[in-house]
Amino acid sequence: MHRPVPDHRGPELPELLSEIVPGLKKIFQTTRGEIVLFPVSGTGGLESSIVNTLSAGDLVLAFNIGHFSHAYAETARSFGMQVDEVELPWGQGVPADLVHDRLIRDTARNYKAILVVHNETSTGVTSDVRAVREAINAAHHPALLLVDTVSSLASIEFLFDEWSVDVAVTGTQKGLMLPPGMAVVCAGPRAIAASGQVNTPRFFFDWRPVLDEMKRGYFPFTPATLMLYGLREAVRMLLEEGLPAVFGRHRKLAEGVRRAVRAWNLPILCRNAAEYSNSLTAVELPEGIDADKVLQLAQEELNLSLGGGLGQLKGRVIRIGHLGALNELEVLAMIAGTEMALQMVGIRIVPGMGVQACEEWFMQEHLAGRRVGSSR
Amino acid sequence: MHRPVPDHRGPELPELLSEIVPGLKKIFQTTRGEIVLFPVSGTGGLESSIVNTLSAGDLVLAFNIGHFSHAYAETARSFGMQVDEVELPWGQGVPADLVHDRLIRDTARNYKAILVVHNETSTGVTSDVRAVREAINAAHHPALLLVDTVSSLASIEFLFDEWSVDVAVTGTQKGLMLPPGMAVVCAGPRAIAASGQVNTPRFFFDWRPVLDEMKRGYFPFTPATLMLYGLREAVRMLLEEGLPAVFGRHRKLAEGVRRAVRAWNLPILCRNAAEYSNSLTAVELPEGIDADKVLQLAQEELNLSLGGGLGQLKGRVIRIGHLGALNELEVLAMIAGTEMALQMVGIRIVPGMGVQACEEWFMQEHLAGRRVGSSR
Amino acid sequence: MHRPVPDHRGPELPELLSEIVPGLKKIFQTTRGEIVLFPVSGTGGLESSIVNTLSAGDLVLAFNIGHFSHAYAETARSFGMQVDEVELPWGQGVPADLVHDRLIRDTARNYKAILVVHNETSTGVTSDVRAVREAINAAHHPALLLVDTVSSLASIEFLFDEWSVDVAVTGTQKGLMLPPGMAVVCAGPRAIAASGQVNTPRFFFDWRPVLDEMKRGYFPFTPATLMLYGLREAVRMLLEEGLPAVFGRHRKLAEGVRRAVRAWNLPILCRNAAEYSNSLTAVELPEGIDADKVLQLAQEELNLSLGGGLGQLKGRVIRIGHLGALNELEVLAMIAGTEMALQMVGIRIVPGMGVQACEEWFMQEHLAGRRVGSSR
Amino acid sequence: MHRPVPDHRGPELPELLSEIVPGLKKIFQTTRGEIVLFPVSGTGGLESSIVNTLSAGDLVLAFNIGHFSHAYAETARSFGMQVDEVELPWGQGVPADLVHDRLIRDTARNYKAILVVHNETSTGVTSDVRAVREAINAAHHPALLLVDTVSSLASIEFLFDEWSVDVAVTGTQKGLMLPPGMAVVCAGPRAIAASGQVNTPRFFFDWRPVLDEMKRGYFPFTPATLMLYGLREAVRMLLEEGLPAVFGRHRKLAEGVRRAVRAWNLPILCRNAAEYSNSLTAVELPEGIDADKVLQLAQEELNLSLGGGLGQLKGRVIRIGHLGALNELEVLAMIAGTEMALQMVGIRIVPGMGVQACEEWFMQEHLAGRRVGSSR
């Protein structure tokens, strides 16, 4: 991305898009979805999924299972949709049976869409989108399935076609390993059809002119041109490593982090092992400990960036991210830094305990021939 | 900007904003405006100026004097405003007397806002925003004045406070000399007050949470973090050169371009010398010449990017941009390349004619001690 | 080159060299020469050509036709060689007939080497190395032919094998379009054999351990690792453009510069058109004009770097470089800036005269279908 | 360093040198030494220390205590000096008493210089240069003291003036945290005087023209221009952190590495704790283990670069570097990776053992308020 800015009406653009668009489709694992790119961070892309598929007054089913799940619901609410937002304890995923339950009772077919955050990054929980789809199917319900894949795409398996997702949205700064600044939308045929029918006002986020211009390799606005070069490179790297290898790497690194957390004797916020996130682990701290103090010490004393609790979890958890271009030694350094910062606030941890547990797991995987290697 | 991406919830952010925000205010020449930054290209910033200050049904006065003027009107129309869009020949600015006329006749004070593109980059025309303000004042009309300064800020004099502008919007890729990817909004008190009253649905583009978070040095969304480093550097460079010097440089370079165009015996699209744009010159080509062919030859044969006609001007004009980090020799190279491309399509130009006229002007300015120097 | 520094004993090195070495051989147009790379600027590479092929007391034939020719002779003298340095007026090339003359009279075969600077960049003169070789052959003389190709390789045709050159040396900062910091030596079999026989003391510049290690992909010292990435890219770019195209481009750009100089009515220092340098033109200024003042004004007022007179030419000439990654518009900008600076010191030039002549030539070439294009 | 290459005869050069030269003097802790910069890697700088201070036939005292110590002796030998190279087991420093002994017996004052490698990076041993100086003084011997500080400067305390060093040489790629490509020489008055008297042939490495040109801010050859920008930044960073802090940081990180090695139950090659190197630790591996296999696995499986045994230590040791821009977590990652690679070749190590010992030490230092922080 370190290069002169190209003319966004020049010949470089179609060339870039001709490689980026098919590459992104492979990453979304879709042939029926269309790619829409916006020069905006992920939140903007999510807004586009609402304003293009729903009209004011439409009923939407959402689940408040974390900060980003709630924000997605809020987005819809802001545009006048009626949001049936089921309140649940933070730390679990979207319950597919509850989805089924609601839809079955909706005999009038009022729900127009279901909002799911695939990987809720405020709690470290991955919802089972496949199960949600099956619940919808079982209920024979026509609601659209809109999925926030900001912190899952290119880290955790996501199958746009197989799960009949209608819209999936991601940003560039997570699994795509780039700076923030571009939203990547994958829109299926029913969602695109909706964009021509709904009456929600929109201009910048209107998919239609973008889809139109992108067919010719251009955009109806000034795109984040340098980002496109980075995006092409990211797509190349991911497809070269191979999606199964990318997912496997995240799975193994995440398990290493979880083993360290267990060695510290601290609870993982996500209670259900089947819903553990492979891109982020949220760790609950003991009563009386200010989690934000851990963050501050990690930053100031060790130059380590950890995530803090958002919303109702503020001050109560630390969040350890483990997605993107990451390898085992980087995870071990992060674990070491985290356990040092935890000790600094007075949590009793035998120095090295977490690293030891993590390293042992990585060695075990190596001996079993499951090499994680480096993503770089 | 070539550096690792910082944590957007980390300590770097407040530090960056504490220099960027006051710097941008100096560049907008305001003390009463507030800065709102969005990780989106300029179009998105313009949309925010509409959705935060107007409600559906509000009457808006706009002037179709070029592609971007029309697009601004369209943005308002998309959100349900009633747009009184005065159709005018492309090649002139917003006529202040017409503004006065309309407002005076609006005894019911129905117009809620007037949309002006300060520098219409599709035609190379700079509207007299000061005169527009005086017309509004003379009519004692309360309408808000919303100004698109995408291709004028930091190139052409713009006085937010003195002209009592209510909202001004720019992008990073023009006078701020950065890649595209960030919108910079300057909102005055009446506009900010409006944002709490209007009922246009909005989420991402809502100024209120952004203003709120920016006070603490953060954003309610993932910002274009690397861009912030670039923006700080751009602000430093502009303030070091000094705004009068920056405007003077653009004025002299622009005059050099215009002298070249006259030497070619081709008409400048902007007919009124008082409205010549100092950031871009649009040149009309003779009947029968395809302007896009000139662009293509300039690109392919000479590695020179020229702008083409947009909308109704497609194929009829070429647009020569002359803003940002630019010096005399770069302008001369651009003029040389343009006249070569013009010759290639068969326009009869004595080789070197334009460069000669332009260079003569630059020499004259040098001898008069008005050194243009380099912006770098 | 913007990347982390690799381990110079790691696996990246052999991979880099396996592409760089064959590529450089193609650029030297050789199959019998060996490539030796030193992490040093060109001067160091030239020193290696002396200390590896000559012993103290050896007689060497050299020609003082410019600053760099004299420096090459001085290098040999510093190591105890007896240098027969023929003094000639600066502005001409090495006279092949004089070479022939000297060699024929050297019946004892005392001359061990002949030093030639292919392109004397202090005067803008290219010597006819082919003719020198023919003179040596005609005299049936065994002297080695050592050639400084610092400012000619990859800009002006150079045929290592066809001209039976024994050593050729270049740097990275000219035709190879990189920052300075690496010397590239091409050594033929007789030169390599000499390196095992001569008794000049050397350690760092000893070719033998370098040749040895490079066979395995490594170096006996810490190489300029990042430079190697740049060098690989430069080699790729040159071979993709093709050497004939590269030479043709330099020829045309150089002719444009010379036409401008003639339009200014100033003498080119190089008197013999057959010896015009295609990488640099030295221009004599009228008596009473301080050439260094022109340089200073070009730099300060126009941000243009021109070369000044070296040695005996100090203050008397300006040198216009035109090699490397350069295209027509850049040359036109340089010509414009040069003629502006010349006017500033009081030389009477009609503004635009030089640019006009240069542009006319480029247009003529375009119309003749000899597209120069861009090297980028 | 990511910037356009400046003209090396332009105004940027004196400006750069005016900050770099005084800054380097502070780093060498000298007021009487002069700085000489060469666009060459460290080996070239060391050669310059020989050819400028010694004549062929001069007697030199050297100690073969490692690969680089031997290479320094070889450099002198290559230029015809008579080298009295004391053979010692690798793993110890230069014995000051032995120096004293030799000098006292040299009643004819034949030794012209003593060569010392401050930090022998092939064995991880730091020689006590202060003690060597005291031994020379005690013997009232006039020999020059030449010191290779390639892997010690800006990492391990070095006092040019206090220890009356005559020449010290370093490269850019170690404590100065830059890519390789520049040699930094600090020459004291006696060494500079010698450069005018000795008869060793030299041209590129001759200090005299360089000292001469550098006074005016320039060089007699093309310098590694981009490197100069990097060097200015490195000097700024080091002086901002403060030399005592820089040395303290290296000391603490090194101790962490040593504690890990002890936890692995492997011997540190350096037997004498007073001579432990704070920039590199060499670890002996058990009989029958191929150390190069450890390196290969660390590289291939874990993306970790470790150093291998050089010369007589080939295959027998691994070398863990810990100098430059490095912090605690990076050291912990390196230790984790090393112990994983050691396990992979079958060495019995409880996973996490080394990391635990290292982290414990870092925590201890933190609790004692000796914050290491980050060098970045």
pLDDT at site C155: 96
Listed by start position, the domains of chain D span 12-241, 243-375
Amino acid making up residue B270: C
With beta carbons less than 8 A apart as the criterion, state whether D89 and D279 touch. Answer: no
Q: How far apart are CA A206 and CA D274, in angstroms?
A: 71
Chain D residues lying within 8 Å of C4, measured CB to CB? none
CB pairs under 8 A between B and C: 105
Q: Is the per-residue pLDDT at A156 higher than 80? A: yes
pLDDT at B6: 74
Topology alike, domains B12-241 and B243-375: no
Work out the mean pLDDT of chain A and round it to a whole number: 95
- Considering only CA atoms, which of D51, D27, D29 is closest in space to residue D40? D51
Q: Which residues pair with A280 in a beta bridge?
A: A321
Q: Tell me: the pLDDT tens digits for B173-204?
A: 889 988 888 999 999 999 999 999 999 999 99
C344-370 pLDDT, tens per residue? 999 999 999 999 999 999 999 998 875
B371 Rama class: left (phi>0) / alpha (psi -120 to 50) / beta: beta
Residue B203: which of A39, A79, A225 has the nearest Cβ? A79
Average pLDDT on A215-223 reads 95
β-strands C119-120, C125-126: how paired? Answer: antiparallel
Report the candidate in B270, B297, B334, B323 with the shortest Cα–Cα distance to residue B122.
B270
Average pLDDT over residues B294-316: 95
pLDDT of residue D369: 78
Q: Which amino acid is at D34?
A: E
Span C274-279, average pLDDT = 98
Euclidean distance between the first and the last CA atom of chain A, given in angstroms as a whole number: 16
The chain D residue lying nearest A301, using CA atoms, is: D373
Quickly state the pLDDT bin for D375 (edges 50, 70, 90).
Answer: very low
Q: Kindly report the backbone phi and psi dihedral angles of residue D360, in degrees, each rounded to the nearest multiple of 5, phi listed first.
A: -60, -45
A48 close to A169: Cβ distance less than 8 angstroms: yes
Quote the CA–CA distance of B43 and A204 in Å, as a whole number.
7
Counting residues of chain C whose pLDDT is more than 70, the rounded percentage is 97
C36-48 mean pLDDT? 96
pLDDT mean across residues, chain D: 95
| Residues β-bridged to residue C39 | none
pTM (2 d.p.): 0.92
- Tell me yes or no: is domain D12-241 CATH 3.40.640.10: yes
- Residue C179's identity, in one-letter code, is P
What is the spatial distance between Cα D121 and Cα D324, in angstroms, rounded to a whole number? 14
pLDDT at D11: 87
**Whole-Å CA distances, D328 to A288, C336, D372:** 28, 56, 7
Question: Does the distance separating the beta carbons of B376 and C303 come in below 8 Å?
Answer: yes
Q: What is the spatial distance between Cα C210 and Cα C40, in angstroms, rounded to a whole number?
A: 13
Contact between C359 and B352 using a beta-carbon 8 Å cutoff: yes
**Residue range D149-170, pLDDT digits in tens:** 999 999 999 999 999 999 999 9
Tell me the average pLDDT across A103-112. Answer: 98
Q: Using CA of residue B323, residue B329, residue B331, residue B334, what is the dihedral sign?
A: negative
- For B56, phi and psi rounded to 5 degrees? -55, 140
CA neighbor of C179 nearest in space, from C113, C128, C240, C230? C230
What is the residue type of D367?
L
Question: D86 in helix, strand or coil?
Answer: strand
Bridging pattern class, strands A183-187 and A280-284:
unpaired
Chain B, nearest residue to C349 by Cα: B360
Task: Write the CB contacts of C368 (distance below 8 Å, at least 6 apart in sequence).
Answer: none
Compute the 3-state secondary structure of chain C and give helix, strand, coil in percent, each to the nearest 5. 45, 15, 40
Model confidence at C230: pLDDT above 70? yes
pLDDT at position B3, please? 62
Instruction: Work out the percent of chain B whose per-residue pLDDT is above 90.
Output: 90
pLDDT at A115: 98
Residue A374 has pLDDT above 50, yes or no: no
- Residue D272 is encoded by which pair of tokens? 């004498």
Q: H/E element holding A148?
A: strand A144-148
For the domain spanning C243-375, the CATH number is 3.90.1150.10
Average pLDDT over residues C66-92: 98
Q: How high is the pLDDT of residue A1?
A: 55
CA dist C75 and C48 (Å) reads 10
Q: Which residues of B touch C334 (CB under 8 A)?
A: 329
Residue D3 has pLDDT above 90, yes or no: no
pLDDT at C375: 37
Q: Which chains, if any, share at least 3 CB pairs under 8 A with chain B?
A: A, C
Query: Residue C30: what residue type?
Result: T
| Residue C373 near residue C250 (C-beta atoms within 8 A) | no
Supply φ then ψ for residue C276, to 5 degrees: -55, 135
For residue D303, the chain A residues in CB contact (below 8 A) are 327, 329, 373-374, 376
Q: Are B180 and A10 an interchain contact pair (Cβ–Cβ within 8 Å)? A: no
**Interface contact flag, C204 D42, Cβ < 8 Å:** no
Identify the three-state secondary structure at position B113.
strand
For chain B, helix, strand, coil in percent to 5 are 45, 15, 40
When pLDDT is averaged across residues B229-245 and rounded to a whole number, the result is: 96
Question: What are the distances in angstroms from CA D347 to CA A12, A335, D267, D268, D286?
Answer: 54, 24, 13, 16, 8
**Amino acid occupying residue A157:** E
Q: Which helix (H) or strand (E) holds B16?
A: helix B12-28
Q: Which of B80, B223, B299 sits opposite A180 (nearest CB)?
A: B223
Residues of B in contact with A174 (CB under 8 A): none
Looking at residue C270, what DSSP letter applies?
A: -
Question: For D327, how many CA atoms within 13 A lie in the half-sphere containing its CB?
Answer: 18
State yes or no: pLDDT of D50 exceeds 70: yes
Residue of higher predicted confidence among C371 and C181: C181
b/e per residue B116-129 (b: at least 16 CB within 10 A): bbbbbbbbbbbbbb
Structure tokens, A253? 């690194």
Q: Do D41 and C223 touch (CB under 8 A)?
A: yes
Is the confidence metric ipTM above 0.95 for this complex?
A: no
Picking from D373, D163, D362, the residue whose alpha carbon sits closest to that of residue D259 is D362
The pLDDT score that the predictor gives to residue C374 is 41
Token output for C24: 């450089």
pLDDT digits (tens, 9 = 90+) for C322-349: 998 889 999 999 999 999 999 999 999 9
DSSP β-ladder status, A183-187 and A167-171: antiparallel
- Name the residue type at position C185: V
Q: How confident is the model at residue C1 (pLDDT cuts 50, 70, 90)?
A: low
CB D271 within 8 A of CB D56: no
- Tell me what the pLDDT averaged over chain B comes to: 95
Two tokens, residue D344: 């992979």
CA-wise closest residue to B54 among B194, B167, B188, B187: B194
Whether C179 and D226 lie within 8 Å, measured CB to CB = yes
B7 → closest Cβ in A50, A56, A305: A305
Please report the pLDDT score of residue C371 as a whole number. Answer: 55
Short-list D143, D155, D142, CA closest to D62:
D143
Q: Is C208 exposed, middle or buried (0-12, 13-18, 19+ CB in 10 A)?
A: middle
Of the pLDDT bands very low, low, confident and very high (cuts 50, 70, 90), residue D121 is very high
Residues B75-100: b if buried by 16+ CB within 10 A, e if exposed: bbbbbbbebbbbebebbbbbbbeebb
Residue bearing tokens 């002069």: D34
Of A207, A174, A171, nearest in space to A189 by CA? A207
DSSP C110: -
| Cα D185 from Cα C372, distance rounded (Å) | 46
- Give the pLDDT confidence score for residue A226 in this predicted structure: 86
The pLDDT of residue C8 is 85
Average pLDDT, stretch D90-119? 98
> Do C80 and D173 make contact, defined as CB atoms within 8 angstroms?
no
Is the model's pLDDT at B1 over the cut of 80?
no
- C-to-D residue pairs, Cβ atoms closer than 8 angstroms: 124
Q: How far apart are CA B306 and CA B290, in angstroms?
A: 14
For residue B110, is pLDDT > 50? yes
pLDDT at B374: 41
d(CA B95, nearest CA chain C) in Å: 39
Task: Quote the pLDDT of residue A375.
Answer: 37
Task: Report how far residue B282's alpha carbon sits from residue B292's, in angstroms, rounded to the nearest whole number.
Answer: 13
Task: With a cut of 70, say whether residue A372 has pLDDT above it.
Answer: no
Subunit contact C201:D299, Cβ cutoff 8 A? no
